[in-house]
């Protein structure tokens, strides 16, 4: 459940101004390029969603890491 919450939160915060077209979000583009390399540079809608689907395991792992970091920040 925590990763799903992180996915929604990341989409909401990272996609501000681009929620209906997340492939144009500078943050998501930067994050995909950092995670997947140059193959993720300048994706259109189709390429963006194909990358998300193809790399869903890596993205799910990333969301777990985000949830861990967030929990560590909030635990004294």
pLDDT in tens, the chain (76 residues): 578 888 888 889 888 999 999 989 998 888 888 888 888 888 889 999 998 899 899 989 988 888 888 888 887 6
d(CA 4, CA 10): 10
CA nearest neighbour of 12 among 2, 1, 27: 27
Domain that holds residue 60: 2-74
Number of domains present in the structure of the chain: 1
Tell me the residue length of the chain.
76
pTM for this prediction: 0.74
pLDDT of residue 1: 58
Query: What's the confidence (pLDDT) of residue 76?
Result: 63
């Amino acid at each position: 459940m925590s990763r799903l919450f992180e996915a929604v939160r990341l989409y909401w915060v990272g996609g501000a101004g681009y929620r209906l077209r997340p492939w144009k979000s500078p943050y998501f583009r930067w994050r995909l390029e950092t995670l997947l390399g140059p193959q993720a540079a300048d994706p259109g809608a189709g390429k963006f969603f194909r990358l998300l689907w193809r790399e869903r395991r890596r993205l799910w792992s990333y969301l777990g890491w985000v949830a861990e970091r967030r929990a560590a920040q909030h635990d004294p």
